[in-house]
Structure formats: C-alpha cells, structure tokens
Amino acid sequence: MNKKVIVIGAGFAGIAAATNLAHEGFEVIVLEKHDIAGGRARVFEAEGFTYDMGPSWYWMPDVFESYFGKFGKKPSDYYELVRLNPSYRVVFGADDYLDIPADLTEFKAMLESLEKGSASKLDLFLAQAAYKYKVGINDLVYKPSRSIWEFADMRLLLALFRMDVFTSIHKHIRRFFKHPKIVQLMEFPILFLGALPENTPALYSLMNYADISLGTWYPLGGMHQIIKGMVNLAEEKGVKFLYHQEVKSIEVSKNQAKKVITTKGTFEADILIGGADYQHIETQLLSKEYRSYSENYWDSRTLAPSCLIFYLGLNKKLENTLHHTLFFDVDFMQHAKEIYTTPKWPSEPLFYVSVPSKTDKSVAPEGCENVFILIPVAHTLEDTEEVREKYYHIVMDRFERLTKQSIRESVVYKRSYAHKDFIADYHAFKGNAYGLANTLLQTAILKPSLKSKKVENLFYTGQLTVPGPGVPPSLISGQVVAKEVVKEFGRA
C-alpha cells in the first residue's frame, strides 16, 4: 500500500509539495480551510469584478516553466501569459514619473537620461545580479538548508562570496548609482522582502535581474489562473483536495504524527506536511512537548510587513495609470523605517496600485475598472475600521491628485483587508502578509527548519521556512520539501 501524505494548506507551496509527491507514487490528500485553493492567492468575485486577493506580480517566469516542465507540461498548457510593456510606472510627484520599459536598451537610455554613465554601470550591476540569480535560484534556494554541510561544495563557497551575502543591498546599489530615482527604483523590491535595505544582503540584487532582464508578466484571467493550473496538474497526478477542512489539532504518538483532526473529520497519515502558517501549526496544533521552537524564538523573529489592501470596482475607466503603478511621492525610507523599526502606522504611506483591467477585460464589466491598492505596513498594529478608512482617504487624496481625476465618486464596490483578516483567514503570525524577513540572520539554515525536530514524519513548507517569502520561493519550497520526504522515506 502506498504511503499516505497529508498536506495542510492549498497555497503555492502546499500544492507543489502534494503534486511532486503524488508524482512519486504517494497517496496525497490536501486539507484546505477555505472553499477554494490558493491561500493568499485566492480569488473572489463581486458586482461583476474578479479580484486576486494577494499576489499581483508575475516575476521569474523561468521558475514556473521549470515547475511545470518537471511533469512534461508548460505554463501555456494552463494559462496564457502576456508581458507588460511598460512593466510598471513609478510616480515621484505631480507630473513626475517613470514608465519602466520592457526593452533593456530603452531601460538603459532612461537611466542615462537621469545619470550620465549609468547605462554602462547597469551592465556591470546586471552581470553580477545575473550570476546571483543563476546560482541563487538554480542552486542555493533548492537546498533544504538542514545542515551547513550542504554548502560545503567549494564552488558554492566561492559563490557565496561573489554573491555579496555579507554586504547590504543599500551599499551595493550605491556603488553603481547615485541618482535618487534610480536608487529608489533598484531598492523597491526589497520593501517586500521584509527588512530595510541596510539589513538586506546584496544577494537580493537578483530581484533586480528578475525585474529588468526577465520582465513583468501577467496571466490572463488573473494570478489565480496559476493556482487553477497547479490544482489541475495535481489532480491529474491523483492528489485529492478536501475543502472546508480547518485543522484543529495533530495527534502525535511516539514522535510520529498519526492523525490530523479537522472541523469535519479525522485523517490518518504516514507523513504530514504543514503548508499553513508554521508558527500556528507549532503553537496551536501540536502539544508543547512536540514543538521545535519556543514562544521566545518566534517572538524574536523579524517578520516581513503586513499590508492594508483595498479592492475597488469603478464604473468608469481610469486615466494616467498603468497595470502596475508605484507611488513614491513621499519619503521612501521614512515609510520603510516606520514599518521595520518603530513600528507604527505610516505618517505618509507609500502605496501601490494594480489595475489588471488595463490588460485584461475579463476581470471587470465593460467600461469599468478593477483596482487593487496596497499599503505595506508593520505587523502587529491596531487594525480598526476607523484606521482603514483614514488611510483609504489619505491614499485616495494623493491618487486623485497625482493622476488628475476624481475616483471616489465612481467607486461602486469597495472591500478592505488587513491584519485581522490575515489572522482570521490564514492564522498569520502577528498579522504578517509575507512571512519572515530575508535578513542575513534569517537566511538558509538560519530559517525555521523544514523538518520538525521533535516529530519524525512532520515537515514544513511555505513562506516561514526555506527559501522565503514570495510566489516563486513558495513554489520552490514545496518542491524542496517533497524531495526531502522522498530522500527520507523513499519513493512510495
């Protein structure tokens, strides 16, 4: 009889783990709390609009190609990708913005217009970033990070030094560029990695390579189309998805997870993979003697941000916005410090607007606009309707002023989402949205282990373990944990 695997959570990591193990012959059941798969990448419909609830950027297309390619498939078997051009817009003030071209030659010309000599410096910067991407994404992030000896290969040791692991991205960027707009453009992806640029290794300039060289894409129908494709592939491999199954406890006997108890039943398992919030599984689903980490350990972790999101439906088309628009018209570093060092609600928030209906007519009624607004904020803040409404108007005042149009009067649908929702929907530790920050002291073997230290058949996957937050890393995380299960338990 094939070994039975239970996966808790149908997010990117959970589905990837389930599919890989089913491919190896395991009997796999995924238990999902909600009525659909996706986790933070769920979708909902309202008033004729279709909203992706979380991820909205499709970067690192090669990671998706590699994932589907393992099973003889292509992303195009499940969804249609289009490359955005311009990739996105960055607004620095009234009538002051940059549209980021998809073409590298045009991108270099844009930089050169801001800072003489920056085009040639970009070549050097991207050459280094490309190396980091090649080694980081193809080698390092696929390591399970269970032992320092995984990195003992001389090639990898040399690579670690070449990859500026011990230099901050803050210093690294400024070695090449001086113009503040270029610096902000290069630093913006770091905001979502969960730490100040001063505390983030320069290794993560690989994100700039992903942005500039590999491009910004969009799956028609929305980001949830990726999840639909992954679920279809998983089911082709025999994975069973059971919904409305919130896990309430894990029964352990003789250091073996034996049963998973949900709101609807009890499931026996030979192997258990936690794809839900790691800290929640540890502290709420396991009895104390089987926890790998103490409460003090979790409280000492540096978390990535939470966020305040507004899903809006407009009964008109917007002007002066692209599919992706970043509003950096206030002090970039001040907002970052209010997220990571104070923390408090930002005095002048940065914000990001996605209008997928600019690219995709299917996500909004004809003549209407689908709008997603995100404000990155610190976790563990007081989240009230009054605070949400205050920030809605702060952001909309600037949105209207900078794009020279009235917007609020055209809103026919509005929903907000923040800390309380992340906790209620995902048991998100302290209301975080992105997992653990990618600081040097929370990289690789210094992250919570993908294998329980106390329960022999319990593994973890997702944004609180290796390799880290984001859609491509989560996709990789599921593959890494599946490989470890096969290594430890053999093929089914």
User: Closest Cα partner for 165 from 140, 144, 191?
Assistant: 140
Which region among 8-17, 141-150, 427-436, 443-452 has the lowest average model confidence (pLDDT)?
A: 141-150
* pLDDT confidence of residue 157: 57
Q: What percent of the chain has pLDDT over 90?
A: 84
Neighbours of 481 (CB within 10 A): 29
Mean pLDDT confidence for 19-26: 98
pLDDT exceeds cutoff 90 at 463: yes
Confidence of residue 158 (pLDDT cuts 50, 70, 90): low
Residues 6 or more apart whose CB falls under 8 angstroms from that of 83 comprise 102, 215, 216, 217
Q: Which among 191, 234, 175 is positioned nearest to 482, based on CA atoms?
A: 234
Q: Which amino acid is at 246?
A: E
Q: Is the pLDDT of residue 183 over 80?
A: yes
Q: Both tokens of residue 405?
A: 């149009």
Residue matched to tokens 């620095």: 92
Give the chain's domains with CATH numbers: 4-45+221-301+438-489 (3.50.50.60), 122-214 (no CATH)
Lowest mean pLDDT among 155-159, 232-236, 259-263, 400-404: 155-159
Banded model confidence at residue 356, pLDDT cuts 50, 70, 90? very high
28 close to 294: Cβ distance less than 8 angstroms: no
Local confidence band at 404 (pLDDT 50, 70, 90 cut-offs): very high
The dihedral over CA atoms of 367, 368, 369, 370, expressed in degrees to the nearest 10, equals: -130
- For strands 27-31 and 4-8, give the pairing: parallel
- Going by their DSSP bridges, the two strands 27-31 and 240-242 should be labelled as parallel
pLDDT at 217: 98
Model confidence at 1, in pLDDT bands (50, 70, 90)? low
pLDDT of residue 332: 84
Name the percent of the chain lying above pLDDT 70: 96
DSSP 334: H
d(CA 17, CA 451): 14
Q: How confident is the model at residue 149 (pLDDT cuts 50, 70, 90)?
A: low
- pTM beyond 0.95: the answer is yes
Q: What pLDDT is stored for residue 333 in this prediction?
A: 83
Asked if pLDDT for residue 355 goes beyond 60, the answer is yes
DSSP result, 43-82: EEEETTEEEE-S---B--HHHHHHHHHTTT--GGGT--EE
Mean pLDDT of 204-218: 96
- At residue 140 the predicted structure's pLDDT band, cuts being 50, 70 and 90, is confident
> Comparing 54-58, 138-142, 405-409, which segment has the lowest mean pLDDT?
138-142
More confident residue, 203 or 64: 64
- Read off the pLDDT band of 139 (50, 70, 90): confident
Q: What mean pLDDT do residues 463-477 have?
A: 95
The token pair at 162 is 């070449």
Q: Pick from 451, 21, 57: which is nearest to 219 by CA? A: 57
| pLDDT tens digits for range 100-133 | 999 999 999 999 999 999 999 999 999 999 999 9
Angle at 72 between CA 5 and CA 9, to 5 degrees: 30
Question: Average pLDDT, stretch 21-28?
Answer: 98
pLDDT band at 491 (very low <50, low <70, confident <90, very high): confident
Which residues contact residue 132 at a Cβ distance below 8 angstroms, ignoring those fewer than 6 apart? 163, 164, 203, 205, 206, 209
Please report which residue ranges of 177-219 form alpha helices under DSSP H. 180-187, 206-209
The answer to whether residues 92 and 82 touch, using CB atoms and an 8 Å cutoff, is no
Q: Which amino acid is at 422?
A: F
CA distance 64 to 4: 27
Among 28-42, 143-157, 388-402, the range scoring the smallest mean pLDDT is 143-157
Across 138-254, where does the E strand assignment appear? 217-219, 240-242, 247-253
Q: What is the pLDDT of residue 160?
A: 61
Question: What local confidence, expressed as pLDDT, does residue 135 receive?
Answer: 87
In this predicted structure, what is the pLDDT of residue 438? 86
Question: What does the pLDDT look like over 246-291, one tens digit per residue?
Answer: 999 999 999 999 999 999 999 999 999 999 999 999 999 999 999 9
The mean pLDDT of the chain is 94
Question: Which pLDDT does position 51 carry in this prediction?
Answer: 98
pLDDT above 90: residue 60: yes
